[in-house]
Amino acid sequence: MFLKVCGITRLSDALHAVEHGAGALGFVFWPQSPRYISPERAAEIIAALPPDVDAVGVFVNESVDGIRAVVAKTGIGVIQLHGDETPAYADKLGWPVLRAITVEQAEQAAVAWPPETIFLMDSVDPARRGGTGSTLDWRQAASAARGRRVVLAGGLTPDNVAEAIGTVRPFGVDVSSGVEDAPGVKNPDKVARFLTRARSAFDKH
């Protein structure tokens, strides 16, 4: 079970998510994102997290040296690649990678990327690169996820996460816009309900 809340910009949101069971938090280092956070601010939040919480850095077509600099400054432990990065690029990083793909890319990605790769299956919007709020076709996602470690994203909310988990049977789930009042500002009640319902659904399946 992998429960991730992405687009964290405030310490209070981070601690609230962890308190309610999030095992991973996402920090978006792509400047064009409305959920962008500076490495300096992210470092302050990450320093306050329990050691067993994964801090995930989200990057879009960043240079290897650029990612290394952010890792050194912030202490993130997992790299989420949301651009056009290749397996060869990921090999140069030297950190665990969460690779964002679409349902349509799943078959090709499974061949191109190493077997240990965890894929984040998200909806398509090249201009926004995640956090779109658009819901996937879960039956297509279930077929694409079969036999692979997939974290399901794309339009998840407290009201649909249990159904999504039951249909797709993913390795984990990732939420951003579905628990927000505004980009980067999480709604405490939605976060708590999402994580509670997701955990319950995983326990059943």
Which amino acids are annotated catalytic?
6, 122
Report the distance separating Cα 74 and Cα 51, nearest Å.
Answer: 14
Beta strand pairing status for 2-5 and 172-175?
parallel
Residue 6: helix, strand or coil by DSSP? coil
Residues in Cβ contact with 40 at an 8 Å cutoff, skipping those fewer than 6 apart: 73
Residue 3: helix, strand or coil by DSSP? strand
What are the DSSP calls for 139-200, one per residue? HHHHHHHTTS-EEE-SS--TTTHHHHHHHH--SEEEESGGGEEETTEE-HHHHHHHHHHHHH
Beta strand pairing status for 2-5 and 180-182?
unpaired
**CA-CA-CA-CA torsion sign (169, 107, 26, 87):** positive
Residue 101: helix, strand or coil by DSSP? strand
The residue with tokens 């993913």 is 170
